[in-house]
Amino acid sequence: MTATGPTTVLLLRLAGPLQAWGDRSAFNRRETRPEPTKSGIVGLLAAAAGRPRHAAIDDLAGLGLGIRVDQAGSLLRDYHTVSDYRGRPLLAAAVNAKGTQRLTGPAKYTHITQRFYLQDAVFLAAIEGPAHFITTLENAVRHPAFPLALGRRSCVPAQPLVLGQRTGPLEEVLRAEPWHVTDAVRKRWGRRNGNAAHVDLPLTLDDPAGDDTREDLPLSFAPTSRAYTSRRVRHTYAAAPTGLTPHPDQPPSTGGHDPFALLGW
Amino acid sequence: MPYLSRIRINPLRTASRTLLASPRALHAQVQGGVPTLPNESRTLWRLDADNPHRPELFVLTAGKPDWTHLVEQAGWPGADGEHYAVRDYAPLLGQLAQGREFAFRLTANPVQNTNRPDKPTERQQERLDGGTRRSFRLGHRTAASQLGWFLTRTARWGFDVPAASHLDGTRDDQDEPPRDVRISTRRRHSFGKPTRASKEDRVIMHMVTFEGKLRVTDPSLLTQRLLAGIGPSKAYGCGLLTLAPVPAKA
């Protein structure tokens, strides 16, 4: 965001069996956004750089972020019940004078919790910043100090995670990048869409003049004083190259019936 | 001189939501584009929602229409490209010749008339008891009877539907090869008339879209059907038969 010196873009491919990008979940219901959050990406970079939870992260949060949805994935609801195997009431959040947790007031024996995950999703995250800082971050992600996760500790990233550095504006980089999906998905999409050479993918870009806000810009990850603020984003679409060649005999038609085709024009 | 028009509709605008939801409202807008008096000539129209995000309205009018009001209310007035296209329909009518094959699409309201309904409603029973001879118009409600309605009438409309060549070897229960026609959408519409609230005064219609291939058997009969429409509910977007080139096999 700070426009001093040349900037480069680090491209990350966020893919894995499960991802979870919560931004305002609390208590027993843990939701996920359909796209990666900035706090999730900043947390991943901070973990790679080996920063402890209370370290300052304003340099990471100040980087520009763009997300491209290559494969939207589907939502998985994970239903849990939690209880004490000895049959005792569960502990309450409140503590007594000695600092130990009390038992729940009207005794409660089972917690019902729900966690939501995105399954089979692929996102492209572009992180823009000063060249030397981006190089440091890329090295950190290639040799992470702490294990990396896609939003929640149990969501392990698939390889390759780092696609390398690109030069140029964030939006141009995301438009030029080929479509990162598996061959089976590409072939199935091609069958349904006449093997079109381009596919429209949604983009979410950091933009101070954007018309939408996200409540996921982290100020601090310190366990005792977590804080977030909002950021402005802009949505658009990018026509990404699919790598397919349209069939010459079968143009990507208007869906079958065109009564104007016989009217001489 | 007939004209075929195609108007693109922006489904996100407030006015379009009303129009897409109500055949009555869309009928009024279609009639508003025709400068001649509405009762002097029949206007046929059809809403094609192949892509529900980009629905298209096809209208066949006797004279040249103007669709500026629809573009302003329900289109993309400032956008690039052609907001609506109006073309002379005569070149198509000139191409009709016996034996020629076309791809077709028709949205129709299949009905039958009977004065002996199996299970008469209260109101029908009243009329039967009153000794009225006039029969009742009942909608075909299953896909099989709707397709049957279509196939038994094609000869009267000047065409027939050839057997589906891509389904060689399959036979139906009468050992006949299946015809090259399918039902792409079926929908029951029910809407009230603005001045009357009573339940009996609701319009109830079954709108069915047939698609497939036809072979011309009688050009003059087909011309008549193309211009005058097929079946009832023509004001509510039924009856417009459109022809297109037969798609080449991949």
State the Cα–Cα distance between residues B193 and B200, nearest whole angstrom. Answer: 10
What is the spatial distance between Cα B242 and Cα A258, in angstroms, rounded to a whole number? Answer: 9
DSSP-based three-state secondary structure for A166: strand
**Cβ neighbour number for residue A102 with a 10 Å cutoff:** 12
d(C-alpha B95, C-alpha B85), whole Å: 21
Q: In the structure, what pLDDT confidence band is assigned to residue A264 with cuts at 50, 70 and 90? A: low
> For the CA atoms of chain B, what is the radius of gyration?
20
Interface test with A, best of B48, B102, B185 (most A CBs within 10 A): B48
How far is it, in rounded angstroms, from Cα B84 to Cα A85?
70
Q: Detail the DSSP E strand segments found in A37-73.
A: 64-71
Chain B positions touching A258 (Cβ under 8 A) are 244
- Mean of pLDDT values over A66-87: 93
Neighbouring-strand partners of residue A206 = A233
Average pLDDT in the A45-62 region?
95
Q: What is the mean pLDDT of each successive set of 10 residues along chain B, which is 250 residues long?
A: 92 92 92 85 90 90 94 91 91 91 94 89 87 88 94 94 79 81 92 71 90 94 94 94 79
CB spacing of B92 vs A263 below 8 angstroms: yes
pLDDT tens-digit readout, A193-231? 778 888 889 899 999 998 889 999 999 999 999 999 999
Residue B75, class by beta-carbon neighbours within 10 Å (0-12 exposed, 13-18 middle, 19+ buried)? buried
A28-42 mean pLDDT: 94
The Cα–Cα gap between A250 and B35 comes to 41
Question: Are B248 and A249 in contact (CB < 8 Å)?
Answer: yes
Nearest CA in chain A to B243: A259
- ipTM for the whole predicted complex goes beyond 0.90: no
Ranges A43-52, A255-264, B44-53: which has the least confidence: A255-264
Task: Find which of B1, B7, B47, B50 to mutate to test the A interface (most A CBs within 10 Å of its CB).
Answer: B50
Q: What's chain A's Rg over C-alpha atoms?
A: 23
> Considering only CA atoms, which of B95, B75, B73 is closest in space to residue B85?
B75
* Of B123 and A15, the one with more pLDDT: A15
Average pLDDT (A110-114) is: 93
Of the candidates A249, A250, A262, the beta carbon closest to that of B243 is on A262
Nearest CA distance, A259 vs chain B (angstrom): 5
Q: What is the pTM of this model?
A: 0.55
**Partner-chain contact A260 B88, CB within 8 Å:** no
Tokens 């979870």, located at residue:
A20
Structure tokens at A257: 């019936």
Chain A residues at the B interface, defined by Cβ less than 8 Å, are: 247, 249-250, 253-265
B contacts of A191 (beta carbons < 8 Å): none
Q: Give the residue on B whose Cα is nearest the Cα of A264.
A: B91
pLDDT of residue A185 exceeding 60: yes
Distance from the Cα of A216 to chain B's closest Cα (Å) equals: 29
What's the whole-number average pLDDT of chain A? 90
B248 contacts chain A (CB < 8 A): yes
Which candidate from A249, A254, A257 shows the least CB-CB separation from B242?
A: A257
> Which has more pLDDT, B41 or A98?
A98
Closest chain A residue to the Cα of B59, Cα to Cα: A259
Determine, for residues B6 and A261 on separate chains, whether the beta-carbon distance falls below 8 Å. no
Nearest to A259 among B50, B95, B243 (CB): B243
Q: Residue A105: pLDDT above 50? A: yes
Contacts of B250 in chain A (CB under 8 A): 247, 249-250
User: How many beta carbons lie within 10 A of that of residue A85, not counting itself?
Assistant: 5
Q: CA B165 to CA B177: how far, in whole Å?
A: 9
| Strand, coil or helix: A190 | helix
First-last CA distance in chain B: 37
Size of interface A-B (CB pairs under 8 A): 49
- Cα separation, B154 vs B159, in Å, equals 6
Closest listed residue to residue A176, CA positions, set A264, A66, A256:
A66
Residue A254 in this model has a pLDDT that exceeds 50: no
Task: Read off the amino acid at residue A76.
Answer: L
Q: Which chain B positions have a beta carbon within 8 Å of A263's beta carbon?
A: 4, 87-89, 91-92
A239 vs chain B: nearest CA distance in angstroms? 18
Handedness of CA A167, A171, A176, A178 (dihedral sign): positive
Binary contact (A249, B250; C-beta < 8 A): yes
CA distance A123 to A109: 40
Strands A111-130 and A198-206, sheet pairing: unpaired
Please determine, for residue A114, whether its predicted confidence score (pLDDT) is greater than 90: yes
Give the other-Cβ count within 10 Å of A89's Cβ: 15
Q: Which residue has the tokens 């004490």?
A: A84
